[in-house]
Amino acid sequence: MPQINILPKLLSFVKNNVVMCVALLAAAVTSVIVPIDSEYLGYIDLKTISCLYSVLAVVCALKNIKFFYTLAQKIVELFKNARLCVVALVYITFIGSMFIANDMALLTFLPLGFFVLNNTNKQKYMAFTFIMQNIAANLGGMLTPFGNPQNLYLYTKFNIPNGEFMRIMAPPFMVSIAVITLCCIIFVRPEPLEIKGEKVNLPLGKTMLYLALFALSIAIVFRSIPYQIGVVVITTVLLIADKTALKKVDYPLLFTFVFFFIFAGNMARIHAVQNVFSYLLGKSTLLFSTLSCQVISNVPSAILLSQFTDNYADLLIGVNIGGAGTLIASLASLITFREYTKHNPNKAVSYIKQFSAFNFGILFILILFMIILRNC
């Protein structure tokens, strides 16, 4: 019998799911330090996992009928020069992240950015546009509880009222809009262009059905409907209407949350960690949470640090603006890097340099703004 070599497949899986594998390793290591017991059952926040699953499933269904592609294309076709076109692409991603989560917004609109620039011979703006779309996704999603995965978790854990959530995030959100818009105006010239693309006719029945499911998923996030009911309804309808949408859900992201829940729960039970984190967060929750994102990413930072502080306002801001910075500060940034290098494999180094310059520049502005705001 021919021998099956599973090593290449395993390496490919790890490469495509680095964050999940790191989370699994972290959970496994801490499980050695803190032996498995009955307290593990309380680690995993089923409501957060259920809300995230519901949103991802419906978004996949809408993507399958090219709803977001069609919507974005119609908006982009209204603009006739490179500057306005890039601004439109960035704003579409910015707005999309508020409703369909930052990583899903990028997976939806980065291909559109490539299509537009590649078919109008404006490839010179490709890296800049991808970087601005990435920053827009990370920072645009901060305004809503379901815009970023860490938002959904903190919103649920601390039971933050809807109005208070938006009041907390409004100041950095507005500054982000202003800075991103200014960057697009400065670095992209108003060169004329013509956009041509395939016309897509949306199936009216499925479009209305999926939009209704999307509204249901949002209602689950806002606690208007029990998440158990929402998950059953969404799953059942999609099993009938579009099974492929359920297959395309980002399950590694869901498992990443599960593993980080275990890791964070174990870390919170280690006394030495409790003392160190409590001390650092007591000095400045905003700064420490922002710095933590640069090393272990924003989602695990939110899950871990939430075990050691009740200052959810500064923690919420920190793990959102902290998504800007290093390439690993946000899962969304890794998605953008993967998409860009797929089209430009020889420009990875130059992309990282440009990415770092814009991200750290915007991060510095946001931190400085929040410090000044806190001291006023």
DSSP string of 117-183, one letter each residue:
HHTTT-GGGHHHHHHHHHHHHHHHGGGSTTTSHHHHHHHHHTT--HHHHHHHHHHHHHHHHHHHHHH
| b/e per residue 124-154 (b: at least 16 CB within 10 A) | ebbbbbbbbbbbbbbbbbbbbbbbbbbbbbb
The pLDDT of residue 372 is: 92
Q: Is the backbone of residue 350 left (phi > 0), alpha (psi -120 to 50) or beta?
A: alpha
Q: What number of other Cβ atoms are within 10 A of residue 287's Cβ?
A: 17
The pLDDT of residue 196 is: 63
Structure-block tokens of residue 354: 């440009």
Q: How far apart are CA 145 and CA 81, in angstroms?
A: 34
Residues 6+ apart with CB under 8 A from 17: 252
> Within its chain, how far is the Cα of 44 from the centroid?
20
CA dihedral 110→116→120→121, nearest 10 degrees, is: 10
Q: Is the backbone of residue 101 left (phi > 0), alpha (psi -120 to 50) or beta?
A: left
Q: Whose CA is closest to 99, among 54, 57, 145? A: 145
The pLDDT of residue 4 is: 55
Structure-block tokens of residue 256: 């990443």
In three-state secondary structure terms, 269 is coil
Element (H, E) at 69: helix 67-76
The pLDDT of residue 1 is: 44
Q: What number of other Cβ atoms are within 10 A of residue 277's Cβ?
A: 20
The pLDDT of residue 154 is: 93
The whole-number mean pLDDT for each consecutive block of 10 residues of the chain, a chain of 376 residues, reads: 68 78 88 91 83 85 85 76 92 86 81 83 93 94 85 90 93 96 95 72 92 87 83 95 92 85 83 81 91 85 89 95 89 82 86 95 96 86
Q: What number of other Cβ atoms are within 10 A of residue 250's Cβ?
A: 22
Going 121 to 123 to 128 to 129, the CA torsion angle's sign is positive
Q: Whose CA is closest to 280, among 267, 266, 290, 270? A: 290
Read off φ and ψ for residue 309, nearest 5 degrees: -150, 150
Q: Are 52 and 218 in contact (CB under 8 A)?
A: no
DSSP state of 192: B
The pLDDT of residue 240 is: 95
Q: Are 299 and 149 in contact (CB under 8 A)?
A: yes
Q: How far apart are CA 34 and CA 83, in angstroms?
A: 54
In three-state secondary structure terms, 81 is strand
The pLDDT of residue 260 is: 81
Q: What number of other Cβ atoms are within 10 A of residue 363's Cβ?
A: 22
Structure-block tokens of residue 154: 């903190």
Distances (CA, A) of 192 to 109, 117, 125, 245: 22, 12, 14, 38
